Amino acid sequence: PSNSAIPTVNGTCSENGSTIEVRNPTLIGSAACTAGSFTVTTSGVTTNASNSLTTRAVDAAGNFSADSTTVAYVHDNTAPSMGAVSDGLGADVAWQTTASSLSGNWPAATDTNGIGSYDRNISTATTCTGDAAATQNIANVTNSTFNSLMLTNGTLYYNCVRATDAAGNISAWTFSNGVTVDTSIPSTVVSGPANGAKLAALASISGTASDSVSGVQSVAITIATGGNYWNGSLWTAPVTWLATTG
């Protein structure tokens, strides 16, 4: 049997011209035996439930063959349902600092008769063409990392995932909200005091910071002299980074 919306039953037969009947257990379709085989388009198969099919041949004189061995199968033509796909291996991330790998995770898809496997690719658009990393079958798992990639700094990438159930039905692609690769190092410039200045007191340190991709999140400074560092109230040996404002 097939799992199409209108299932078909195929088999072999010995008397060309005879009629092959398919029952479940009542008659659900028939077709002629032609060149030793038959294909019967059926109606009355129960979706997502067990069906027990038998066949028999009827010749032109009205003689019936014995019923065939029962074929039991679950008719499933419903695609699995996917949940949300997240970037990274845990909580969803918006940025990553590596260009050589990319991870994604998702909850198990739901399907009446179970999930067989997942496909995953990495794309630069939600059409999920796999232009950044081609589609791979990754078995029945709910997270995956692709390595040996050559991702581009500043580019947004989507994790695309689809599920295949035990009957071979395939879901539509589900895509993440995207993760941007940022391999750029932020830069800072101290504008005051001037380099080499001699001051009686240092009231403040000023400057600028920039980042071309994800922006500057915070800036910290160190103040050192003679191997000691200012911790905000006194000089100590351990390196101390002081938070800034502005």
162-184 pLDDT tens trace? 999 998 999 999 999 999 999 99
Task: Please give the share of the chain, as a percent, with pLDDT higher than 90.
Answer: 86
95-151 pLDDT tens trace? 999 999 999 999 999 998 899 999 999 999 999 999 999 999 999 999 999 999 999
Average pLDDT, the chain: 94
More confident residue, 106 or 7: 106
Is the separation of the CB atoms in 31 and 61 below 8 Å?
no
pLDDT at 5 over 70: no
Q: What is the pTM of this model?
A: 0.77
